[in-house]
Amino acid sequence: MAQAAEPTQKLWDMIKNIHFAMMTTEDGDVLRSRPMAAVDTEFNGVLWFFTRASAHKVTELAEDARVNVSYADPDDQNYVSISGVATLERDMSAIKTHWRETMRTWFPKGTDDPDIALLKVDVLEAEYWDAPSSAMVHAYGYAKAVLTGKPPHPGDHRQVGF
């Protein structure tokens, strides 16, 4: 069991300071992505995002609840792709638990907004790429590629099941 906790913790460490993720849903034959504010303070295999219950993505999720949530931190060369299933939550205790004052930008009435809801994403699988980010490491990688014709080891890449 300790082996499963390590990649999960690494995943959380990679996404916990990224404030916006891109959530992809399916709209008929078209994939649609949109930025979503991340409000999680911990990670246990579930991600939470605020939404309006009347939003078009909620209609899309009623047809196909599968989502992809992508996080990117180019400064640290951290990239995460998460596949899961989303459900709409209108439970007021959950809304209040996950509420952050910064959400007032989209919900000026706060938790009293009659259209406020949460999307709960149960994570099925995640994949991450954690590449070295220093300029010296990139310079070495470039030189190695030019001299040997082989790309450098790009860093840590792993798939994590839930």
| Extents of the domains making up the chain | 2-161
Contact 50, 67 (CB under 8 A): no
Per-residue pLDDT in tens (0 to 9) along the chain, 162 residues: 445 458 889 999 999 999 999 999 999 999 999 999 999 999 999 999 999 999 999 999 999 999 999 999 998 889 999 999 999 999 999 999 999 999 999 999 999 999 999 999 999 999 999 876 545 455 555 555 556 666 655 566 767 778
Calpha distance 124→46 (Å, rounded): 9
Q: Where are the beta strands (DSSP E) in the chain?
A: 20-27, 30-37, 46-52, 66-73, 78-89, 116-130, 156-161
Nearest to 78 by CA among 12, 160, 150: 12
Calpha distance 79→90 (Å, rounded): 30
Tell me, what's the pLDDT at 1?
40
Tell me, what's the pLDDT at 130?
84
* Residues 2-161, CATH architecture: Roll (2.30)
Tell me, what's the pLDDT at 32?
96
Calpha distance 140→138 (Å, rounded): 5
Neighbours of 33 (CB within 10 A): 14
Tell me, what's the pLDDT at 2?
43
Strands 20-27 and 66-73 come out as antiparallel
